Amino acid sequence: MFSSIKTTELNKSRITELTKKFGLNAENIIARIAFAYSIAKERKMNLSEIKDSKGKEYSKNILFGKYINYYVAIICQHYKIYKSDPSLHKYIKMHIDDGIELIYNKYSKHQNFSSTDFLIDILEKQ
């Protein structure tokens, strides 16, 4: 199992900006939302397209807390892999990066969105 996940360098600043914009207390919350948003879009990541890992670093405990097994299970089911697969952490990283990019791009188009507005908007479209 992995010990930490690092986002892309570009997403490091986006995470900080989105956390402030949405009034979240901790940056791991936007990372969890980003992960879920990417998975909910049923996107499949291609490991050959993994981006840099020079950004925000999260330990697995800070990122997922006591719910880590649920997040691992989501990835395992999504990719039909076992929890000991060496690519597991790469998929998690890629979904966090993907979700951050999706949220940031949507936020950039709707500067007046609050976190509640954003979450309601994406949930209604699912």
- The one-digit pLDDT tens for each residue of the chain (126 residues) are 789 999 999 999 999 999 998 888 999 999 999 999 999 999 899 999 999 999 999 999 999 999 999 999 999 999 999 999 999 999 999 999 999 999 999 888 777 777 777 777 766 665
Give me the residue label for tokens 């936020």.
107
3-state SS assignment for residue 5: strand
The pLDDT of residue 122: 67
Task: Report the alpha-carbon distance of residue 47 to residue 57 in Å, rounded.
Answer: 19
Beta strands in 14-108 (DSSP E): 57-59
Taking Cα atoms as reference points, which of 29, 1, 3, 2 lies closest to residue 15?
29
The pLDDT of residue 13: 96
Return the ∠ at Cα 48 (arms to 43 and 52), rounded to 5°: 90
CATH of domain 4-124: 1.10.1220.160
Q: What share of the chain is helix, strand, coil (3-state, %, to 5)?
A: 65, 5, 30
Record the pTM.
0.91
